[in-house]
Amino acid sequence: MSATIKQVAKQAGVSIATVSYVLNGTGTVTEATRQRVLAVVSDLGYQPSHAARSLRGRSYTLGLALPAQPGRLADPTLAEMLASLSDTAAACDYSLLLATARADKSASEMCLSLARTGQVDGLVLLDMQTDDERAQALCEAGIPHVCAGPPARCNSPFVTADGYSAAILAVRHLLQLGHRRIGLIQLPSELAESEPRYLGYSTALAEAGVEADPQLVVEAGRGEQDGFQTMQELLSLPEPPTAVLACSDELAFGAMHALYDAGRTVGQDISLIGFDDVPLAAHMHPPLTTLRQPRRRMGEQLATLLIDIIEKRQPKTNHVTLPMRLMVRKTTARVQ
């Protein structure tokens, strides 16, 4: 690998301990020796071994517990959150380990394993499911972790975007435009994000005195393909919706595709709102009205919260809920 502390010590004519003290700023060392040691260090290009270092104490590595599904990393929402998580972690001198669940182990086993082997000091749980085993397992084992989304049955710390209020915002916007038959294309119900969005949807309808038609609420998958199909179903209803709220931009894109195929003009004949505001949303034709998720801030919060917990700093709060913003573009219009 590279030079060891022993070689540095020898060449600088001091003991190993002294080198360590110089490098860590602990202990008391004369300026002269300090300089001599530092010179040798940069001369040899010495870097302390990560393994030896983490053998005593922490590994300064955070685990990213990815969902079992193989392609999930490709989710643009997730990716941007990761990017800022990574930046924040790096700024605090932590590395990030991608923890993909293997077929032969359950997701929670893999999390436990990572922590027990000391490969990571704590974990970020991404893509929370409603009955997520991971959070509970980590809670019981007393392993530091943060959930990206509301956790299931335990009070794990978490960071989440306020999907409930966001859905209310969206539906109110549609109501103001005169819509009464408002459809909802939901994400798979096993996703923890799904429930609050539905709740917001029905709350907003109820407060406006509009009766909710269960036919207008459909659960879909996660891809454009699913949005495409689901929108087709909604259109084939005897009394189709005049506006639709899709629970992700991907679903909304699929829905737009279906609407074009059906000869409908989005933002005229029918209104559509997405969820997330992925970069592409503003560049669709027409640009998609959607709810912006503060992805970068979520990543930051996840990282700092987890690091606080690992380093035993008592964080102010155990759970952060960030507001979403309605980005009004061209896919919503007054009902005809």
What does the binding site for DNA look like in residue numbers (CB under 7 A)? 1, 4-6, 13-18, 20-21, 23-24, 26-30, 32-33, 46-49, 51-53, 55-57
Q: Which is nearer to DNA, 32 or 74 (CB)?
A: 32
Contact between residue 286 and residue 330 where contact means Cβ atoms under 8 Å apart: yes
Residue 6, binding choice from its own copies, DNA, none, Cβ under 5 to 8 Å by partner class? DNA
Q: Which is nearer to DNA, 50 or 313 (CB)?
A: 50
Contact between residue 200 and residue 171 where contact means Cβ atoms under 8 Å apart: yes
Q: How would you class 100 by CB atoms within 10 Å of its CB: exposed for 0-12, middle for 13-18, buried for 19 or more?
A: middle
Of 16, 17, 79, 206, which lies in the binding site for its own copies, with binding defined by CB under 8 A? 79
CA 141/CA 121 separation, integer angstroms: 13
Amino acid residing at 261: D
Span near its own copies by CB under 8 A; candidates 72-80, 178-186, 196-204, 308-316: 72-80
Q: Which is nearer to its own copies, 78 or 324 (CB)?
A: 78
Residue 119, binding choice from its own copies, DNA, none, Cβ under 5 to 8 Å by partner class? its own copies
DSSP 293: P
Residue 29, binding choice from its own copies, DNA, none, Cβ under 5 to 8 Å by partner class? DNA
Span near its own copies by CB under 8 A; candidates 20-28, 83-91, 181-189, 194-202: 83-91
- Omega of the bond prior to 286 within 30 degrees of 0, cis? yes
Q: What is the DSSP string of 80-123?
A: HHHHHHHHHHHHTT-EEEEEPPPTTS-HHHHHHHHHHTTS-SEE
Least distance to DNA from the beta carbon of 98, Å? 23
Least distance to DNA from the beta carbon of 42, Å? 14
Q: How far apart are the first and last CA of the chain?
A: 71
DSSP 270: B
Both structure tokens of 180: 């009464």
Provide the pairing of β-strand 243-246 with 217-219. Answer: unpaired
Residue window 232-251: x/- pattern of binding to its own copies, with contact defined by CB under 8 A: ------------------x-
CA 43/CA 20 separation, integer angstroms: 16
Span near its own copies by CB under 8 A; candidates 30-38, 65-73, 184-192, 239-247: 65-73
Reported residue count of the chain is 336
Question: Is residue 113 near its own copies by the rule CB under 8 A?
Answer: yes
Q: What does each C-alpha distance from 205 to 23, 158, 189, 233, 282 come to in angstroms?
A: 63, 28, 20, 22, 27
Question: Is residue 202 near its own copies by the rule CB under 8 A?
Answer: no
Q: Is 256 helix (H, G, I), strand (E, B) or coil?
A: helix
CA 205/CA 212 separation, integer angstroms: 7
CA 298/CA 284 separation, integer angstroms: 25
Question: Is residue 47 near its own copies by the rule CB under 8 A?
Answer: yes
Contact between residue 157 and residue 309 where contact means Cβ atoms under 8 Å apart: yes
Span near its own copies by CB under 8 A; candidates 98-106, 152-160, 162-170, 315-323: 98-106
Residue 153, binding choice from its own copies, DNA, none, Cβ under 5 to 8 Å by partner class? none
Of 20, 33, 100, 165, which lies in the binding site for its own copies, with binding defined by CB under 8 A? 100
Question: Is residue 55 near its own copies by the rule CB under 8 A?
Answer: yes
Least distance to DNA from the beta carbon of 41, Å? 10
Binding stretches for its own copies (CB under 8 A): 1-2, 45, 47-55, 59, 61, 64, 66, 70-76, 79-80, 82-84, 86-87, 89-91, 95-102, 113, 115-119, 223-225, 228, 250, 253-254, 256-257, 260, 279-280, 282-285
